[in-house]
Structure 1
Amino acid sequence: MTVPTERPPGPMPDPQAARDPRTLLEPRRFDGVVSTIVDNNPGMTADVAERIACEGIKFTVAAATYRDQAMAPSRVVDEGWHALILHTATYAGLCERFGGFVHHTPGYDPTFYDPKILDRSQELIRAAGFESDRELWVGPDDRTFTVAANCQHQKECAIRPMPTPQPPCNKPAIVP
Protein backbone atom coordinates (compact mmCIF):
# COMPACT_ATOMS: atom_id res chain seq x y z
CA MET A 1 0.00 0.00 0.00
CA THR A 2 1.22 3.48 -0.72
CA VAL A 3 0.70 6.09 1.91
CA PRO A 4 -0.40 9.51 0.66
CA THR A 5 2.37 12.07 0.78
CA GLU A 6 0.14 15.10 0.36
CA ARG A 7 -2.65 16.22 2.63
CA PRO A 8 -5.94 17.19 0.97
CA PRO A 9 -6.76 20.91 1.00
CA GLY A 10 -8.37 22.34 4.09
CA PRO A 11 -7.46 23.90 7.42
CA MET A 12 -4.57 22.36 9.28
CA PRO A 13 -3.44 23.41 12.73
CA ASP A 14 0.16 24.21 13.51
CA PRO A 15 2.22 21.09 12.58
CA GLN A 16 3.87 21.16 16.01
CA ALA A 17 0.44 20.90 17.64
CA ALA A 18 -0.57 17.97 15.45
CA ARG A 19 2.15 15.82 17.00
CA ASP A 20 0.29 15.79 20.32
CA PRO A 21 -3.36 14.89 19.73
CA ARG A 22 -4.34 16.42 23.08
CA THR A 23 -3.77 19.87 21.61
CA LEU A 24 -6.46 19.27 18.96
CA LEU A 25 -9.19 19.46 21.61
CA GLU A 26 -9.82 22.03 24.30
CA PRO A 27 -8.44 20.62 27.60
CA ARG A 28 -11.92 20.27 29.14
CA ARG A 29 -13.11 18.35 26.07
CA PHE A 30 -10.09 16.05 26.11
CA ASP A 31 -10.66 15.45 29.83
CA GLY A 32 -14.30 14.63 29.08
CA VAL A 33 -13.30 11.95 26.57
CA VAL A 34 -10.82 10.48 29.07
CA SER A 35 -13.52 10.47 31.77
CA THR A 36 -15.87 8.59 29.43
CA ILE A 37 -13.21 5.92 28.90
CA VAL A 38 -12.56 5.60 32.64
CA ASP A 39 -16.30 5.45 33.39
CA ASN A 40 -16.81 2.68 30.82
CA ASN A 41 -13.83 0.67 32.05
CA PRO A 42 -13.84 0.24 35.84
CA GLY A 43 -10.35 -0.14 37.22
CA MET A 44 -8.62 1.53 34.26
CA THR A 45 -6.09 4.18 35.23
CA ALA A 46 -6.37 7.72 33.90
CA ASP A 47 -2.94 7.30 32.27
CA VAL A 48 -4.11 4.34 30.17
CA ALA A 49 -7.39 6.10 29.37
CA GLU A 50 -5.44 9.14 28.13
CA ARG A 51 -3.35 6.94 25.85
CA ILE A 52 -6.50 5.34 24.45
CA ALA A 53 -8.16 8.76 23.97
CA CYS A 54 -5.09 9.99 22.10
CA GLU A 55 -5.19 7.01 19.74
CA GLY A 56 -8.91 7.59 19.13
CA ILE A 57 -8.15 11.20 18.18
CA LYS A 58 -5.26 10.17 15.91
CA PHE A 59 -7.43 7.55 14.22
CA THR A 60 -10.23 10.06 13.66
CA VAL A 61 -7.89 12.70 12.20
CA ALA A 62 -6.26 10.18 9.85
CA ALA A 63 -9.62 8.74 8.73
CA ALA A 64 -11.01 12.22 8.06
CA THR A 65 -7.83 13.33 6.28
CA TYR A 66 -7.29 10.27 4.10
CA ARG A 67 -10.91 9.69 3.17
CA ASP A 68 -10.19 7.40 0.24
CA GLN A 69 -8.07 4.98 2.27
CA ALA A 70 -9.42 1.92 4.12
CA MET A 71 -8.81 2.10 7.85
CA ALA A 72 -9.91 0.25 10.98
CA PRO A 73 -8.95 0.66 14.65
CA SER A 74 -7.79 -2.10 16.94
CA ARG A 75 -10.28 -3.19 19.60
CA VAL A 76 -8.42 -1.06 22.17
CA VAL A 77 -8.22 2.02 19.93
CA ASP A 78 -11.90 1.53 19.12
CA GLU A 79 -12.64 2.24 22.80
CA GLY A 80 -11.08 5.68 22.39
CA TRP A 81 -12.96 6.25 19.15
CA HIS A 82 -16.27 5.25 20.83
CA ALA A 83 -15.64 7.66 23.70
CA LEU A 84 -14.83 10.49 21.29
CA ILE A 85 -17.97 9.79 19.23
CA LEU A 86 -20.11 10.09 22.39
CA HIS A 87 -18.94 13.69 22.66
CA THR A 88 -20.82 14.50 19.46
CA ALA A 89 -20.02 18.19 19.02
CA THR A 90 -16.34 17.62 19.77
CA TYR A 91 -16.22 14.62 17.42
CA ALA A 92 -18.06 16.34 14.57
CA GLY A 93 -15.87 19.43 14.88
CA LEU A 94 -12.67 17.39 14.82
CA CYS A 95 -13.82 15.45 11.75
CA GLU A 96 -14.81 18.60 9.88
CA ARG A 97 -11.46 20.28 10.64
CA PHE A 98 -9.64 17.46 8.90
CA GLY A 99 -11.82 16.58 5.94
CA GLY A 100 -15.31 15.42 6.91
CA PHE A 101 -17.41 13.34 9.24
CA VAL A 102 -16.25 9.75 9.82
CA HIS A 103 -19.16 7.37 10.44
CA HIS A 104 -18.84 4.26 12.59
CA THR A 105 -20.46 0.96 11.63
CA PRO A 106 -19.86 -1.45 14.53
CA GLY A 107 -19.54 -5.18 14.30
CA TYR A 108 -17.73 -7.94 16.13
CA ASP A 109 -16.35 -11.28 15.13
CA PRO A 110 -12.76 -12.20 16.07
CA THR A 111 -12.39 -13.93 12.69
CA PHE A 112 -12.65 -10.50 11.03
CA TYR A 113 -9.25 -9.56 12.42
CA ASP A 114 -6.91 -8.31 9.71
CA PRO A 115 -3.46 -7.34 11.00
CA LYS A 116 -2.64 -5.69 7.67
CA ILE A 117 -5.41 -3.13 7.99
CA LEU A 118 -4.17 -2.26 11.47
CA ASP A 119 -0.70 -1.73 9.98
CA ARG A 120 -2.16 0.41 7.16
CA SER A 121 -4.15 2.44 9.67
CA GLN A 122 -0.97 3.15 11.66
CA GLU A 123 0.83 4.16 8.46
CA LEU A 124 -1.91 6.70 7.77
CA ILE A 125 -1.71 7.95 11.35
CA ARG A 126 2.01 8.54 10.80
CA ALA A 127 1.27 10.26 7.46
CA ALA A 128 -1.10 12.57 9.39
CA GLY A 129 1.85 13.64 11.58
CA PHE A 130 1.47 11.39 14.62
CA GLU A 131 3.24 8.40 16.07
CA SER A 132 1.03 5.45 16.92
CA ASP A 133 1.07 3.90 20.38
CA ARG A 134 1.88 0.40 19.10
CA GLU A 135 0.99 -1.28 22.40
CA LEU A 136 -2.64 -0.30 21.78
CA TRP A 137 -2.78 -1.62 18.19
CA VAL A 138 -3.16 -5.30 19.08
CA GLY A 139 -5.33 -8.14 17.86
CA PRO A 140 -8.75 -8.90 19.34
CA ASP A 141 -7.49 -11.73 21.50
CA ASP A 142 -4.74 -9.68 23.18
CA ARG A 143 -6.07 -8.75 26.63
CA THR A 144 -3.11 -6.65 27.80
CA PHE A 145 -5.59 -3.77 27.89
CA THR A 146 -9.11 -4.79 28.82
CA VAL A 147 -11.71 -2.44 27.34
CA ALA A 148 -15.49 -2.38 27.04
CA ALA A 149 -15.45 -1.92 23.24
CA ASN A 150 -16.22 -5.17 21.52
CA CYS A 151 -15.86 -4.22 17.87
CA GLN A 152 -13.68 -5.75 15.22
CA HIS A 153 -14.05 -4.52 11.70
CA GLN A 154 -13.91 -6.84 8.70
CA LYS A 155 -10.95 -6.40 6.41
CA GLU A 156 -13.23 -6.01 3.40
CA CYS A 157 -15.55 -3.74 5.37
CA ALA A 158 -13.13 -1.11 6.55
CA ILE A 159 -14.24 2.28 7.81
CA ARG A 160 -15.37 4.48 4.94
CA PRO A 161 -15.92 8.15 5.69
CA MET A 162 -19.02 9.41 3.89
CA PRO A 163 -21.52 12.24 4.08
CA THR A 164 -24.40 9.94 5.10
CA PRO A 165 -24.28 6.55 6.80
CA GLN A 166 -24.24 3.55 4.47
CA PRO A 167 -23.52 -0.13 5.05
CA PRO A 168 -19.74 -0.57 4.60
CA CYS A 169 -20.01 -3.96 2.86
CA ASN A 170 -21.60 -5.44 -0.21
CA LYS A 171 -24.04 -7.22 2.07
CA PRO A 172 -27.75 -6.37 2.05
CA ALA A 173 -28.70 -3.81 4.66
CA ILE A 174 -30.90 -5.13 7.45
CA VAL A 175 -34.02 -3.02 7.62
CA PRO A 176 -36.20 -3.41 10.73
Structure 2
Amino acid sequence: MTTTIESAVTRDVRDLIHPEDLAAVTATVQRNNLGMDIALAELITLEAIKFEAACAAHPDARLKPSRVVDEGWHALILHTRVKASLAGRLGLFVHHVPEAPDTGRHDPDALARSQAAITAAGYAPEPTMWGGPTDTSIPVAASCEHSPPGPEGSCSGDCSNTGGN
Protein backbone atom coordinates (compact mmCIF):
# COMPACT_ATOMS: atom_id res chain seq x y z
CA MET A 1 0.00 0.00 0.00
CA THR A 2 1.36 3.40 -0.99
CA THR A 3 0.63 6.51 1.03
CA THR A 4 0.68 9.83 -0.78
CA ILE A 5 1.04 13.09 1.07
CA GLU A 6 -0.39 16.00 -0.85
CA SER A 7 1.42 19.28 -0.53
CA ALA A 8 -0.65 22.32 0.33
CA VAL A 9 -1.44 24.59 -2.58
CA THR A 10 0.18 27.94 -1.95
CA ARG A 11 -1.83 30.86 -3.25
CA ASP A 12 -0.27 34.09 -4.46
CA VAL A 13 -1.33 36.85 -2.06
CA ARG A 14 -0.92 39.38 -4.88
CA ASP A 15 -4.12 37.96 -6.37
CA LEU A 16 -6.02 39.61 -3.48
CA ILE A 17 -4.97 43.19 -4.23
CA HIS A 18 -4.71 45.37 -7.31
CA PRO A 19 -1.10 46.38 -8.09
CA GLU A 20 -1.83 50.10 -7.68
CA ASP A 21 -3.44 49.43 -4.28
CA LEU A 22 -0.44 47.35 -3.20
CA ALA A 23 1.83 50.22 -4.24
CA ALA A 24 -0.25 52.74 -2.26
CA VAL A 25 -0.28 50.69 0.96
CA THR A 26 3.43 49.88 0.55
CA ALA A 27 4.17 53.59 0.18
CA THR A 28 2.40 54.23 3.49
CA VAL A 29 4.57 51.60 5.22
CA GLN A 30 7.66 53.19 3.72
CA ARG A 31 6.60 56.74 4.71
CA ASN A 32 6.01 55.61 8.29
CA ASN A 33 9.48 54.03 8.39
CA LEU A 34 11.92 56.55 6.95
CA GLY A 35 14.83 54.92 5.19
CA MET A 36 13.06 51.56 4.73
CA ASP A 37 13.77 49.86 1.43
CA ILE A 38 10.71 49.62 -0.84
CA ALA A 39 11.16 45.84 -1.20
CA LEU A 40 10.98 45.38 2.59
CA ALA A 41 7.97 47.69 2.83
CA GLU A 42 6.20 45.63 0.18
CA LEU A 43 7.06 42.35 1.93
CA ILE A 44 5.59 43.75 5.17
CA THR A 45 2.45 44.82 3.27
CA LEU A 46 2.03 41.42 1.63
CA GLU A 47 2.41 39.68 4.99
CA ALA A 48 -0.28 41.95 6.44
CA ILE A 49 -2.61 40.95 3.59
CA LYS A 50 -1.91 37.27 4.35
CA PHE A 51 -2.76 38.00 7.98
CA GLU A 52 -6.01 39.66 6.92
CA ALA A 53 -6.86 36.63 4.77
CA ALA A 54 -6.14 34.28 7.68
CA CYS A 55 -8.36 36.36 9.99
CA ALA A 56 -11.19 36.27 7.47
CA ALA A 57 -10.83 32.51 7.03
CA HIS A 58 -10.58 31.86 10.79
CA PRO A 59 -12.47 34.67 12.57
CA ASP A 60 -12.61 32.87 15.93
CA ALA A 61 -8.99 31.71 16.03
CA ARG A 62 -7.67 34.55 18.25
CA LEU A 63 -4.99 35.58 15.76
CA LYS A 64 -2.70 38.56 16.05
CA PRO A 65 0.01 40.13 13.94
CA SER A 66 3.62 40.33 14.98
CA ARG A 67 5.05 43.79 15.61
CA VAL A 68 6.39 43.85 12.03
CA VAL A 69 3.19 42.59 10.40
CA ASP A 70 1.24 45.08 12.51
CA GLU A 71 3.08 47.86 10.70
CA GLY A 72 1.65 46.67 7.38
CA TRP A 73 -1.76 46.02 8.89
CA HIS A 74 -1.97 49.58 10.20
CA ALA A 75 -1.08 50.89 6.73
CA LEU A 76 -3.77 48.69 5.18
CA ILE A 77 -6.34 49.96 7.69
CA LEU A 78 -5.59 53.55 6.64
CA HIS A 79 -6.50 52.69 3.05
CA THR A 80 -10.21 52.14 3.72
CA ARG A 81 -11.25 51.56 0.11
CA VAL A 82 -8.48 49.00 -0.35
CA LYS A 83 -9.46 47.28 2.91
CA ALA A 84 -13.13 47.23 1.87
CA SER A 85 -12.22 45.76 -1.52
CA LEU A 86 -10.08 43.14 0.19
CA ALA A 87 -12.98 42.30 2.52
CA GLY A 88 -15.18 41.77 -0.53
CA ARG A 89 -12.68 39.30 -1.94
CA LEU A 90 -12.24 37.52 1.39
CA GLY A 91 -15.93 37.45 2.32
CA LEU A 92 -15.45 39.08 5.73
CA PHE A 93 -14.45 42.52 6.99
CA VAL A 94 -11.78 42.07 9.65
CA HIS A 95 -12.24 44.69 12.36
CA HIS A 96 -9.48 46.49 14.20
CA VAL A 97 -10.07 47.01 17.92
CA PRO A 98 -7.70 49.56 19.53
CA GLU A 99 -6.34 48.98 23.01
CA ALA A 100 -3.51 50.38 25.11
CA PRO A 101 -0.01 48.91 24.69
CA ASP A 102 0.94 46.11 27.04
CA THR A 103 3.87 43.85 26.14
CA GLY A 104 2.85 41.70 29.11
CA ARG A 105 -0.02 40.34 27.00
CA HIS A 106 2.44 38.67 24.63
CA ASP A 107 1.17 35.21 23.81
CA PRO A 108 3.82 33.36 21.77
CA ASP A 109 1.22 30.77 20.78
CA ALA A 110 -0.85 33.48 19.08
CA LEU A 111 1.93 34.21 16.60
CA ALA A 112 2.24 30.48 15.84
CA ARG A 113 -1.57 30.26 15.46
CA SER A 114 -1.49 33.20 13.08
CA GLN A 115 1.19 31.60 10.91
CA ALA A 116 -0.67 28.27 10.94
CA ALA A 117 -3.89 30.07 9.94
CA ILE A 118 -2.06 31.80 7.08
CA THR A 119 -0.87 28.39 5.89
CA ALA A 120 -4.37 26.93 6.27
CA ALA A 121 -5.73 29.81 4.19
CA GLY A 122 -3.36 28.73 1.41
CA TYR A 123 -0.52 31.23 1.80
CA ALA A 124 3.07 30.78 2.90
CA PRO A 125 4.00 32.94 5.90
CA GLU A 126 7.39 34.61 5.78
CA PRO A 127 9.04 33.50 9.07
CA THR A 128 11.28 36.59 9.34
CA MET A 129 8.13 38.73 9.68
CA TRP A 130 6.85 36.83 12.72
CA GLY A 131 9.35 37.52 15.51
CA GLY A 132 8.19 38.17 19.06
CA PRO A 133 7.75 41.65 20.55
CA THR A 134 11.40 42.05 21.50
CA ASP A 135 12.74 41.01 18.08
CA THR A 136 14.06 44.20 16.49
CA SER A 137 15.82 42.55 13.53
CA ILE A 138 13.38 44.41 11.27
CA PRO A 139 13.02 47.92 12.66
CA VAL A 140 9.50 49.34 12.27
CA ALA A 141 7.56 52.16 13.88
CA ALA A 142 5.03 49.77 15.50
CA SER A 143 6.06 49.33 19.11
CA CYS A 144 4.08 46.27 20.28
CA GLU A 145 1.79 43.39 19.41
CA HIS A 146 -1.89 42.76 19.88
CA SER A 147 -4.11 40.88 22.28
CA PRO A 148 -7.00 38.48 21.65
CA PRO A 149 -10.03 39.52 19.62
CA GLY A 150 -12.56 42.11 20.58
CA PRO A 151 -16.26 42.30 19.68
CA GLU A 152 -17.88 41.66 16.30
CA GLY A 153 -15.51 38.94 15.09
CA SER A 154 -12.47 41.16 15.11
CA CYS A 155 -9.17 39.41 14.69
CA SER A 156 -7.17 41.29 17.29
CA GLY A 157 -6.86 44.31 19.46
CA ASP A 158 -4.45 47.14 18.82
CA CYS A 159 -1.71 49.16 20.45
CA SER A 160 -0.08 52.49 19.85
CA ASN A 161 1.97 53.05 16.75
CA THR A 162 4.60 55.75 16.83
CA GLY A 163 4.79 55.94 13.05
CA GLY A 164 2.06 58.52 12.58
CA ASN A 165 -0.92 56.20 12.18
* TM-score range relative to shorter protein: 0.7 to 0.9
Q: Paired residues, what number? A: 148
Q: Paired residue for 1:104?
A: 96
Q: Cα RMSD over matched residues?
A: 2.2
Amino acid at match of 2:88: E
Deviation of residue 161 (structure 1)? 7.1
- Gap regions ≥5 residues in structure 1: 1-15, 169-176
TM-aligned CA distance change 1:31 to 1:85, over 3 Å? same
User: SS in structure 2 opposite 1:105?
Assistant: strand
* Deviation readout 1:93-130 (Å, 9 max, x if unpaired): 21232231111123422211111000001000000000
TM-score (norm. length: structure 2): 0.82
Q: Is the 8 A contact 1:77 1:137 kept in 2?
A: yes
Q: Is the 8 A contact 2:64 2:146 kept in 1?
A: yes
Deviation of residue 151 (structure 1)? 3.5
Q: Which runs of 4+ in 1 moved over 6 A?
A: none
- Gap regions ≥5 residues in structure 2: 1-8, 158-165
121, 133, 143: which is aligned to 1:128?
Answer: 121
Confirm or deny that 1:162 pairs with 2:152: yes
Q: Paired residue for 1:148?
A: 141
Deviation of residue 47 (structure 1)? 1.0
Q: Paired residue for 1:20?
A: 12
Q: Is the 8 A contact 1:67 1:160 kept in 2?
A: no
Deviation of residue 160 (structure 1)? 4.9
